[in-house]
Amino acid sequence: DTAVSQTPKYLVTQMGNDKSIKCEQNLGHDTMYWYKQDSKKFLKIMFSYNNKELIINETVPNRFSPKSPDKAHLNLHINSLELGDSAVYFCASSQDITGGNTIYFGEGSWLTVV
Amino acid sequence: GQNIDQPTEMTATEGAIVQINCTYQTSGFNGLFWYQQHAGEAPTFLSYNVLDGLEEKGRFSSFLSRSKGYSYLLLKELQMKDSASYLCAVRDGSGYSTLTFGKGTMLLVSP
């Protein structure tokens, strides 16, 4: 069974569209994250949720809106997509918000905006 | 702010030993992680250091010196499958579990 799963794996869409990426973890973890990996392979935190509550919101355009219906799910909705949003988006989870916990990543969602 | 530096690329030969260095400057410190990422795949956890010294796990070892803001990942008996990007990541002193990643070191292992 996949521990952290996200869909879709590949997404090609036009500028201006709105799209969502879904994420689910079956590890019983309290904390979930969205990371963005750009074309230079730099992996950067976007959001962190703990028990459905937003904990960390890095400097991300407000076109990006995460939603956590329960602690096992963290979806990412992106409005008015731009070319620069093309990247790989990784969902991840950890046992809880405190230090010392390993972060486990999903397989990634490859978003291409044309 | 956070700053994590590691070499962009390294090459090595099958069977050899390679050391990938990472230096960091962070607001507080609460642990350093190494992840391996093969092309087109998710990062996978390799090691975690929070105290000074060497942690050994099979062919992979990781070292930490907190006073120097320095870590290295040592890979022994290199195999072709070790060709991947190796990401150094630091957890700061905020108390939160979020990791800040370096830009990764692409290791190419040749026959």
Q: What is the Cα gyration radius of chain A?
A: 13
Q: How far is B96 from chain A (nearest CA, A)?
A: 5
Mean pLDDT of A101-105: 88
Distance CA A45, CA A36 (A): 6
Contact between A99 and B97 using a beta-carbon 8 Å cutoff: yes
Tens of pLDDT, residues B58-102: 999 999 999 999 999 999 999 999 999 999 999 887 767 778 899
Q: How far is A77 from chain B (nearest CA, A)?
A: 21
| Residue pointed to by tokens 């690329």 | B9
Those residues with Cβ within 8 angstroms of residue B70's Cβ, 6 or more apart along the chain or in another chain = B21, B22, B23, B24, B64
Tens of pLDDT, residues B61-71: 999 999 999 99
Distances (CA, A) of A22 to A78, B4, B28: 11, 30, 33
Tens of pLDDT, residues B12-38: 999 999 999 999 998 888 899 999 999
Cα B103 → chain centroid: 11
Residue A100: is its pLDDT beyond 70?
no
Residue A43: count of CB within 10 angstroms of its CB: 24
Chain B residues touching residue A101 (CB < 8 angstroms) = 97
Q: Strand pairing of A109-113 and A87-94?
A: antiparallel
Mean pLDDT of B103-110: 96
Residue B83: count of CB within 10 angstroms of its CB: 17
Nearest to A99 among B31, B45, B100 (CB): B31
